[in-house]
């Protein structure tokens, strides 16, 4: 198995107002996006070509939406955000860029 193209741990994964996990993991590896619980069990997965990742309107910078298999998940990617005053995009933006890159899409 190849190295993951994107990994974020400590991610809050929810569906609308319902929280599925507060310390989950998001991984892009071998052309698949996987949403995992804190125990490593799979919440959902799909080929990255079938995933739509976006930034929700009027949401904090650490939030991203991921549409997999007809379900919409709200991801809060706090752990990998840069420290205050440090340059670099927030983790949500890196996640969206990683999905687009893995799927072979440009902006």
* pLDDT score of 5 more than 90: no
Residue 35 in tokens = 């949403």
Q: Are 55 and 64 in contact (CB under 8 A)?
A: yes
In the prediction, which pLDDT does 107 show?
58
Model pLDDT, residue 29: 94
DSSP sequence for 54-69: EPPTT--TTEEEEEET
- Say what the pTM is: 0.84
Mean of all residue pLDDT scores within the chain = 87
CB 54 within 8 A of CB 40: no
Look at strands 42-47 and 52-54 and give their pairing: unpaired
pLDDT tens-place string over residues 44-94: 999 999 999 999 988 888 899 999 999 999 999 865 556 677 665 568 888
């Amino acid at each position: 198995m190849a190295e993951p193209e994107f990994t974020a741990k400590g991610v809050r994964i929810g569906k609308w107002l319902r929280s599925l996990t507060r310390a989950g993991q998001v991984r892009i590896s071998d052309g698949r996006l996987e949403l995992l619980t804190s125990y490593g069990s799979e919440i959902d997965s799909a080929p990255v070509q079938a995933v739509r990742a976006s930034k929700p309107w009027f949401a904090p910078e650490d939030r991203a939406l991921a549409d997999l298999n007809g379900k919409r998940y709200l991801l809060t990617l706090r752990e990998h955000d840069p420290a205050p005053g440090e340059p670099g995009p927030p983790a949500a933006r890196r996640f969206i860029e990683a999905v687009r890159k893995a799927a072979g899409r440009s902006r």
